[in-house]
Chains A and B, each alone.
Chain A
Amino acid sequence: MSGVPVPTTTEVARPRDARATSPARPADGHHEPVISTHRLTKRYGTLTAVDRLDLEVYQGEIFGLLGQNGAGKTTTILMLLGLSEPTDGEAWVMGLDPAWEPREVKRRVGYLPDAVGFYDGMTGRQNLRYTARLNGLERDDGEAAIDEVLEQVGLTDRADDAVGTYSRGMRQRLGIADALVKTPDLLILDEPTTSIDPIGVVEILELLRRLVAERGLSIMLSSHLLTQVQSVCDRIGIFAAGRLIGVGTVDELAAQFGDGSAAIEVGLELSSPADRERAGTVLRALASVESVDPPSVGRDTWRLHVRPAGAEGRVRQDILVAAVDHGLRLTALRPIVPSLDDIYRTAVERPAPKRAGIKPKTIRRPDAGRGQP
C-alpha cells in the first residue's frame, strides 16, 4: 500500500497548516490532492451515513468510490459539493472548504448526480445553455463551450432535439456534457453507468478516459458495479457502511485483501473420462497446490488454487513439466488476476473495526461454480 495516502499523526494534530509543508505530499503539481477529507462524518439521527472518512484524490487520476447502495457514497459526494453539511470533520476540494465556500467549489467542480434529470421540453442545447448561464459564462464563451462538450460526448447531431426524446444513455452523456460545460478542474460522477446498456457503458468509460487525457482533469466516480470501476479507475476506495475500508490500485487492494492464495487456469486436451481422472491426480500431486477444480459447465479449463500466493510462478512451471512428463497436451496456462469482485467480497465480509450505529450488512455469496467475469 505504498501509494496510498495515510494521514500522519502530525496532520491530525494540525490539519490545516500542515498540508502545504507536509513531506508526505510530493511538491510537483501533478500530485496535489484535489479532494482531501479528514475524519469527515455525517450522521442522520442515530444513523451514521459516513463515518470518519479520510480520503485523498490527486490531480489527473480517476478515483472510484466502490460500495453497495446506502454505503455512503452519495452522502460523501454531497458533502464534497457543499450540498450537505458534515456533522464532523472537514473536507477540502480544490483547496476550498465546501461547507464555507460552496459556490467557489461548485464553480470548479462538474457534478453528474445519480439519476440525472433534464427539462424534457427543452432541447439538449437549451439545457446546457441554462447551466452555462448559471455558471456566468457569457454568450459567446458559453456557446463555444456547449459546442465543444456536445462534440466530446457525441451528441452534436441530436443537440437540438427535445431531451424528452433521448435514450437513457444519451441523457447520461448529456449529463456528463452538462458537468463539463463550466470547464471544471474536477468531475464528480455519481453512478455514471447505472441503468445503461453494456455498449453505452463502454462508450461512457472510454469518454471518461479520453477526458482525463485531453483535458487533464481529475475524476471521482462512484459505482456499485465492480468490473466497470476496475476497468477505468486508477485508484479505488472501497466503502462499506459509511467507512472506507480499503484504498489503492487493484493490485494493492489484492495484496491487502487477498486471502494469501493465487489461482491458475489450466486448459488440457482430454479425450476420455480416464484421462480426466489421470490429469486431476497429476495436478493435485503438485507442490503448493491447495485444491483443484475440474472443468464444469460453462468453463472448460481446470482451476488450481495455490497457497502461498508467492509460489504461483513456480507452480506454473511445474505444471508445464508435469504435462510433458505425463503426455498431457496443454491448451491454456495462465495466472488468474484477482478481480475486484473477489477483493470487494473479502473486504466487505472482513469485520470492520468499530462501526458506530450501523449493523454490518451481510452479503450473499454467489454460487460456487460461477465463472470469472
Chain B
Amino acid sequence: MSAATVPSGTPIPTETEPESRLRVPSGGWRVIAAKEFGDHILSVRFLALLIILGLAAAIPLYFAAGQIRELAPQATGQKAVFLALFTIGSADYSFLIVSSFVAIVAPLLGLAFAFDAINGERADGTLPRLVAQPIYRDDVINGKFVAGLSVILMVLVAVVGIISGFGILRLGIVPSPDEIARLVAWILVTAVYVGVWLAFGLLLSVLIRRAATSALVGFGVWFVLVIFGSFIVDLIAKTVSPITGSTIDTALPQAQLQKFITQLLPGNLYSDVTDVILNPRLNPSARLPGSIGEAQQAAQQIPNAVMSIGQSLLLVWPQIVTLVGLMVACFVAAYVAFMRQEVRA
C-alpha cells in the first residue's frame, strides 16, 4: 500500500521518500518456503527421508520383480502389469509393497518435517524477528507447509521415477497412458495424505511450545491411530449407539456409525483410495460394501473387467474430498491458533 491511501489527516513523515521504499512486498511465503526448502535439503531428516523412501523402493521392488517375472508368461495380454510394480511384493511380508510402505511412512514423514516448524523458531528466538518483517503471519505457516510438502514430494517422485525406470529397462514392462495417469493420481493423493500429517504437525508445533513434546504427541497420535484405530472406533460406536435388541434394525445404527468413523480416519481413507487407483480391476473387496444395495451391486459386477481412471476416481471421490477436508481443517486450525498467539516467548 502506498502513502496515497493513508488517511489525509495523519502525519506522513516519509512523504518525500522514493516510492520504492514504501512498497510493501508481497509473496513473503515464497521467500520463507525457499529458505525452509534449503534448510530441509541440508538437514539430517532429509537424509532419513532419502533412506526410508529409498528402502521403500528397493525392497519391494526386489520381491515384485521376481514375482512379475514368474507371472509374466501367464500375464501376457493382462492389463495393468506395470502398476503391479507398486502393488505386489513379497508373499510373506504383506507390508513390503511400495504403496503400503508409503502409506505407513507418509504420516511419519509429514510429522517429521513439521513438528518443530513454529516452536523451533520460538525456541531459537527467531520468531519475533521473522514476524516483525512485512509479511502476513500466515505466510510463515504457508511457506513452511509448502517447503515440507515439496521436499517429500520431490523424493517421492524421484522414487516412483526410479521404480518405473527399473520396470521399463530391466523388466521390459511399458506403462500405458492410463497407468501413467493412475500413477500421477496416486502421487497427488499421497501428497494430500502427507499434507494432512504435515498440517497436523504444524498445528502441534503452534500449540505445543517444546519441539520434543510436539514430536512425541504427533507420533503418539499416529501410533494410536495405526495400532488402536479400529479398537477405538469400535469403542466409540458401542458407547454412542449400543445395540438394544436382536433384530437387524437395532444393530444397523451401530454398524453405520462404526463405518462412518472408520472412514474418517486418514489412514483408511488413503488406503481405500490407493487400492482403487492402483488397481484398475473391478475388485469388490477393495471397498467394503456399506449397504445391502452396494453389496448387491458388487455381486453383479463383471469379474476381471477393467475400469478407466475416470471411473476409479469417481469411485473414491468422496474419500479424496474427505482427505482434502481433513488437511484443510488441520491447516486452518494451525492458522487460527497461530494468529491468536502472542509473539512473545
Interface string of B18-39 (1 = CB under 8 A from A): 0001111110100110010001
Given contacts A106-B132, A136-B24, contact A34 B13 (CB under 8 A): yes
Which residues of B sit under 8 angstroms from A182, Cβ to Cβ?
Answer: 133-134
B9 sits at the interface (CB 8 A): yes
Contact A103 B13, beta carbon cutoff 8 Å: no
Min Cβ gap A27→B in Å is 11
Given contacts A78-B343, A101-B1, contact A96 B10 (CB under 8 A): yes
Given contacts A108-B14, A183-B21, contact A19 B9 (CB under 8 A): yes
Complexed CA–CA distance, A81 and B130 (Å): 12
Among A113, A135, A178, which residue has its beta carbon within 8 angstroms of that of B125?
Answer: A113
B-side binding surface: helix, strand, loop or mixed?
loop
Min Cβ gap B30→A in Å is 9
Contact B21 A135, beta carbon cutoff 8 Å: no
Min Cβ gap B126→A in Å is 4
Complexed CA–CA distance, A228 and B10 (Å): 33
CB within 8 Å of B: which of A52-98? 59, 74, 78, 81, 83-84, 92, 94-96
Question: Which residue in chain A gives the minimum CB-CB distance to B121?
Answer: A117
Complexed CA–CA distance, A240 and B342 (Å): 22
For B1, B11, B124, the residue with the greatest tally of chain A CB atoms inside 10 Å of its CB is B11
B314 sits at the interface (CB 8 A): no
Among A20, A113, A117, which residue has its beta carbon within 8 angstroms of that of B9?
Answer: A20
B69 sits at the interface (CB 8 A): no
Contact A104 B24, beta carbon cutoff 8 Å: yes
Contact A134 B135, beta carbon cutoff 8 Å: yes
Question: Which residue in chain B gives the minimum CB-CB distance to A30?
Answer: B13
Complexed CA–CA distance, A78 and B127 (Å): 13
Min Cβ gap A163→B in Å is 10
CB within 8 Å of A: which of B271-298? none
Contact A185 B133, beta carbon cutoff 8 Å: no
Complexed CA–CA distance, A92 and B237 (Å): 56
A116 sits at the interface (CB 8 A): yes
Which residues of A sit under 8 angstroms from B11, Cβ to Cβ?
Answer: 19-20, 25, 32-33, 92, 95
Contact A135 B133, beta carbon cutoff 8 Å: yes
Chain A contact residue count (CB 8 A cutoff): 47
Among B12, B28, B344, B345, which residue has its beta carbon within 8 angstroms of that of A134?
Answer: B28
B129 sits at the interface (CB 8 A): yes
Complexed CA–CA distance, A76 and B332 (Å): 29
Which residues of A sit under 8 angstroms from B344, Cβ to Cβ?
Answer: 74, 78, 84
Complexed CA–CA distance, A227 and B8 (Å): 40
Min Cβ gap B139→A in Å is 9
Given contacts A115-B125, A134-B31, contact A107 B134 (CB under 8 A): yes
Min Cβ gap B117→A in Å is 14
B224 sits at the interface (CB 8 A): no
B245 sits at the interface (CB 8 A): no
Complexed CA–CA distance, A133 and B139 (Å): 13
Contact B125 A107, beta carbon cutoff 8 Å: no
Given contacts A113-B128, A134-B133, contact A29 B13 (CB under 8 A): yes
For B14, B17, B22, the residue with the greatest tally of chain A CB atoms inside 10 Å of its CB is B14
Complexed CA–CA distance, A116 and B17 (Å): 29
B251 sits at the interface (CB 8 A): no
B7 sits at the interface (CB 8 A): yes
Complexed CA–CA distance, A115 and B125 (Å): 7
Which residues of A sit under 8 angstroms from B23, Cβ to Cβ?
Answer: 107, 136
Given contacts A118-B126, A178-B129, contact A32 B134 (CB under 8 A): no
A318 sits at the interface (CB 8 A): no
A314 sits at the interface (CB 8 A): no
Which are the 6 A-B pairs with shortest beta-carbon distances? A117-B125, A136-B25, A113-B128, A107-B134, A134-B133, A111-B132
21 residue pairs A–B, Cβ–Cβ below 8 Å: A17-B9, A19-B10, A32-B11, A34-B13, A74-B344, A78-B342, A95-B10, A95-B11, A95-B13, A95-B14, A96-B6, A101-B1, A103-B135, A103-B136, A107-B24, A113-B125, A115-B125, A117-B129, A118-B129, A134-B134, A136-B26
If A78-B343, A134-B130 are given as contacts, then 10 extra A-B residue pairs at C-beta distance below 8 Å, sorted by A number, are A20-B10, A83-B131, A113-B128, A115-B345, A118-B124, A118-B129, A121-B42, A133-B35, A134-B135, A185-B17
